[in-house]
Amino acid sequence: MLATTTKGEAAMADMKLALYLPNFRDHVTVKELEDLTDLAEELEFDSIWTLDRIVVPEASDRGELQYPFGMMQEFPKQLPVSARGQWYQGWPLIPWLAAKTEKCRIGMSITDTPYRAPGVFAAEIATVDHLSNGRVNVGIGSGWMPEEFAAASAADVFPKRHKHVRETIEICQGIWTNELFEYHGEFADFEPCGFGHKPLQDPHPPIFMSGLRNPEISAKRVAKYNLSGWIGIQDTPEELTEWTSAIGDELAKLDGSHTLDDLEISSMCWFVITDEPTDQTRNGKLTNLLSGTADQITQNLIDLKAAGMTMPLIWPPFADVPTSKTLEDLRQLNDEILPQVNAA
């Protein structure tokens, strides 16, 4: 959990950077992921995150998914990667990252819990926390694509996926903090068991939530489960200001044990530095937040920081931009842009 600060102190806190490793794109190699990871470690980014994507349905290539990408109306009923794309699964990369890094924290944004048995997931996280010497973040969400639920043999869970998230959090925290643990719920029902090593982090790895837009429900979940962070996607400063204000108000209505300052506020943002200015017209999730000239990105990060963002997840393009260009952009972001943002 982040240290609690006053509002004034929180406003003075420096923005941190996280790398959203592009394991999900039409074609990616281990060498490219390795080069990006090495640079994030060299630049001392706060953390490196992978993306959870089990399948791309062929229907996506035709723009015929049941729902728009992420259930967000700005996007088409299509994923940005082809069904025949050559991408890597996000979860197996986590122990790889544990071995490849020494300083950066690691996690998956976001783990769709319905694709994993909660007890197995909790035990594996504890093991990886040891492999990483206590550097694991746990991003948890419900998923959104019925076609992917079917491919993961979890089609029946889709209507109840949010309950699956809640049970997963309860099982994780129970396994992580008890020598023996039992649970009797809808998605897991087992007698007292031991699950091996507990995580190194005390009391357990930080848990980040995603996908919840209802501030009242979000605040209750933060308070009940002692959550450490929130991860959005392509959130404009205006959207972020509205959301952080609303959840802050809801937290204040509860028992007072949590405030907005206890949360790491993050957003997955597509990133590329361009030579020519990009259109900065606000267009919801399609806004060019971190896609533009260095000056445009600097100003947008200043505005996002003022709106409450503490750590953008820097998301390299899905296609058309070589990794060598992204490496150059990341160095410029860290060395030239971020100091200006934190000095503003």
The tally of domains found in the chain comes to 1
**Across 1-5, 152-156, 162-166, least confident range:** 1-5
Mean pLDDT across 122-148: 98
Which distant-in-sequence residues (6+ apart) come within 8 Å of 296 by Cβ? 277, 278, 280, 288
Residue 14 falls inside a structural domain: yes
Residue 2 falls inside a structural domain: no
Could you tell me the pTM of the whole model? 0.95
Q: How confident is the model over 80-94, as pLDDT tens digits?
A: 999 999 999 999 999
CA angle 311, 312, 316 (to 5 degrees): 145
Which distant-in-sequence residues (6+ apart) come within 8 Å of 256 by Cβ? none
User: The domain that contains 38 carries what CATH number?
Assistant: 3.20.20.30
Domain that holds residue 138: 7-343
Residue 240 falls inside a structural domain: yes
Residue 197 falls inside a structural domain: yes
Residue 224 falls inside a structural domain: yes
Residue 276 burial class via C-beta count within 10 angstroms: exposed 0-12, middle 13-18, buried 19 and up: exposed
Strand ranges inside 146-226, DSSP E = 181-184, 189-193, 207-210
Q: How confident is the model over 272-308, as pLDDT tens digits?
A: 999 999 999 999 999 999 999 999 999 999 999 999 9
Residue 1 falls inside a structural domain: no
**Across 56-60, 143-147, 218-222, least confident range:** 218-222
Q: Is the pLDDT reported for residue 146 higher than 70?
A: yes
- Separation of alpha carbons 45 and 330, rounded Å: 10
